[in-house]
Amino acid sequence: MMSLPDQSADPIRSHSSQRMTTDHTVEPDSPIRAKSFDKIEIVIWIMLALLALVTRLADLGTRPLSDAEATQALVSWQLYQGKEVSYSHYSPLLATVNFITFALWGATEFTARVTPAVSGALLVILPLGLRRYVGRVGAISAGVLLCISPAALHLSRTVNGDVVATVGTALVLLGLVRMEGEVASRQGIGAVMAAAGLALMVISSPLAGSGLGLLLMFVVALSLASRGKRVVWLSEVITCLRTALLTRRRTLVMILILAAAAASGLFLNLNGLATTVDQIGEWARGFMPPEAGGVRLATPPVIDPVYPSLWLLGLYEPLTLLSALFGLGIALTRRRFFHIFLAWWFCSGVLLDALRPSRSSGEVLLTLWPAALLAGLAIGQLAGTAQSREDWKRDKTVVLTGLTVAAFAYVTLMIYTSGYGVVWQPLAAIGMFVALVVVYWQWYDKISALRGAAFTIIAVLFLFQIASAVRLNYVPVADASQPLVRTSAGEGMRDLVAVLQFVSTKKANDPYLVDLLASRAVGAAVEWQLRSFPNVRWVNSLERLPMEYEQPGSSFHLPDVILAPEDTLLTDEPYAGQDFIVHNYWQPTSMPFRAFIRWYLLREMQPTFSNKVVLWVKQPPAASTLEK
């Protein structure tokens, strides 16, 4: 049994003279204290890790890459082809890792996304390192919430560096908390872990600026709160870092070399180092209003809608958000150092996110991770209040009754949103549930009734969150009307490649060797799909090509196959064209109450706008249509 921390050693006092301990462990009489590992817990974590990996790798290569994903993938493709990188905004780490995966297993949608997928699975099991601070049940609950998180799952299945940067931020946190204490080996491992996490953040995404900013602001706030007194935790961290620089110098130098190699494409792309530095400016530009042109082909230009992280959590993950708010109250009540830091991270992350109108969708992860830990703290505390088998038996009765009522409410609500029935039926079901809780309150006791109601709400929202994750991530083409998606590759992307292979076989007796003239205005996603066609000539615009190259004496002639944006008139020669939808985007519009409720529960695809490209094929003089 652990002893209570020495209150006299606490350097921080509140205005009410209450003390916040620097001991990070849970009270010895806490029902969620972290005990030694047992077989059941180990099996749970192994199963959770496997589930996270499977859900992130399943059908990973089914969807075609969007423009944003393709831009990142093309950097690695250019490195693999030995060409000079022509893009400026990308993740240096992801470019290098994908360059390696392309060399080992080929350039596909799967290999382009496998690094974020594995990083997302790692993010799920990282709460295990904070088990002694949030409790055994709390850590498992946080891992489960991250595993089924629609946002974390979606970002882990797209080509972006934000999920890798979030893993780095979590490693920095794990390293810092390990520095507390008197065990030298533990402190050294913590310093190395923090250094590795910091390097991972910096070379992965501009999201590192937000993570470092939150940490530095907490240190400043902690120093101000101590009123000039010596802060024990901060002093321990500084001492540990100083010791690590002396005793683990080789390890830290190795981390620095590996980070430089990862940022520079194994020193084949020195521009990656400059891109790493430029990410600071890119992060700073996030505080400026977004510019038009978020969708390259849209007319008029489209500004990608900006959705605050708190709104996204409420839309996709109400269980995590609601539990995190209760966990926030628990953290502020306990006033323990790590819990205060979690509360700071969550609240300041929400505020920083609101101040950055040009943020990326991936920045929701910086709020989601502490929210999951706070939610785990609340769920663990709730589970810990049931001490006996009799308590669980009472809770089970309330939960089963509540789920039956919830099923009835769902059915009547769907009937109402379909244009039938009346709204009082689902409202009556909610009133029925409240009445049942009151009955159980009188029948059993207050704690059992409220705890059973809480478990019922958790179960309902858990199922809702799973349904949201499936509808967001496991459809053949990403739904652009989903706020986390914004823009997506169109359903005609695969058809474009198939038709082009057919035409190439007809024209060049090979499915890939046809001479093709293409405009870069078609977008990076189309350029990625044409990566296997070596005879593609890319130009910035096709509008003036007939005037420039069909003059007398010109040695250039328009090829037999041309790829251009829709409504581009190329020439008077006999070309036949076929269009393909390659981009989908959504302009948010107001919806009636019934339609919104139905969309919120079922995530039905809303009408979207689309952009097309046209594949022009020169016809023989007697032909007027494209042969199929």
Question: Residue 449: its pLDDT value, please?
Answer: 84
DSSP conformation class of 230: P
- The b/e string for 393-424 (b: 16+ C-beta within 10 A; e otherwise) is ebbeebbebbbebbebbbebbbebbeeeeeee
Least-confidence region, from 28-32, 88-92, 495-499, 599-603: 28-32
Closest CA to 113 of 121, 470, 583: 121
Q: How long is the chain? A: 628
Question: Residue 414: its pLDDT value, please?
Answer: 85
Please calculate the CA angle 365-366-370 and round it to the nearest 5 degrees: 100
459 and 508 assigned to the same domain? no
What average pLDDT does range 377-394 have in this prediction?
A: 78
| 460 within a domain of the structure (yes/no) | yes
pTM of the complete model = 0.87
282 and 430 assigned to the same domain? no
The fraction of the chain above a pLDDT of 90, given in percent, is 39
Question: Residue 21: its pLDDT value, please?
Answer: 40
Contact 269, 79 (CB under 8 A): yes
| 377 within a domain of the structure (yes/no) | no
Q: Does residue 152 register a pLDDT over 50? A: yes
Q: Does residue 186 register a pLDDT over 50? A: yes
430 and 558 assigned to the same domain? no
Residue scoring higher pLDDT (431 or 423): 431
242 and 94 assigned to the same domain? yes
Least-confidence region, from 32-41, 216-225, 533-542: 32-41
Q: Does residue 9 register a pLDDT over 90? A: no
Residue scoring higher pLDDT (108 or 442): 108
| 325 within a domain of the structure (yes/no) | no
CA distance 109 to 478: 14
CB atoms within 10 A of CB 355: 10
CA distance 219 to 209: 15
In 240-285, which ranges are E strands?
A: none
Residue scoring higher pLDDT (31 or 175): 175
Residue scoring higher pLDDT (261 or 291): 261
Q: Does residue 203 register a pLDDT over 50? A: yes
Full domain range(s) for residue 215: 7-18+33-288
Q: Does residue 12 register a pLDDT over 70? A: no
499 and 526 assigned to the same domain? yes
Of 473, 499, 518, the position where a domain reaches its end is: 473
CA distance 206 to 160: 11
pLDDT band at 22 (very low <50, low <70, confident <90, very high): very low
What average pLDDT does range 89-104 have in this prediction?
A: 93
Least-confidence region, from 322-331, 459-468, 536-545, 565-574: 565-574
pLDDT band at 20 (very low <50, low <70, confident <90, very high): very low
| 366 within a domain of the structure (yes/no) | no
| 458 within a domain of the structure (yes/no) | yes
DSSP conformation class of 522: G
Closest CA to 408 of 361, 460, 362: 460
468 and 498 assigned to the same domain? no
544 and 591 assigned to the same domain? yes
514 and 417 assigned to the same domain? no
**pLDDT tens digits along 323-358:** 999 999 999 988 788 888 899 999 999 999 888 888
How many folded domains does the chain comprise? 3
80 and 206 assigned to the same domain? yes
Q: Does residue 397 register a pLDDT over 60? A: yes
3-state secondary structure of 74: helix
The fraction of the chain above a pLDDT of 70, given in percent, is 82
**pLDDT tens digits along 265-288:** 999 888 889 899 988 888 888 888
Of 263, 288, 313, the position where a domain reaches its end is: 288
3-state secondary structure of 221: helix
| 319 within a domain of the structure (yes/no) | no
Q: Does residue 36 register a pLDDT over 80? A: no
492 and 449 assigned to the same domain? no
> Is cis: bond before 300, omega within 30 of 0?
yes
Question: Residue 48: its pLDDT value, please?
Answer: 96
Question: Residue 14: its pLDDT value, please?
Answer: 37
123 and 231 assigned to the same domain? yes
469 and 495 assigned to the same domain? no
| 129 within a domain of the structure (yes/no) | yes
**pLDDT tens digits along 429-456:** 888 888 888 888 887 778 888 888 899 9
Residue scoring higher pLDDT (459 or 241): 459
Residue 160 β-bridge partners: none
| 511 within a domain of the structure (yes/no) | yes
Which token pair is 550? Answer: 């069909």
Of 288, 306, 339, the position where a domain reaches its end is: 288
Q: Does residue 305 register a pLDDT over 80? A: no
Question: Residue 230: its pLDDT value, please?
Answer: 54
Contact 175, 166 (CB under 8 A): no
What does the mean pLDDT of the chain come to?
A: 82
CA distance 261 to 93: 9
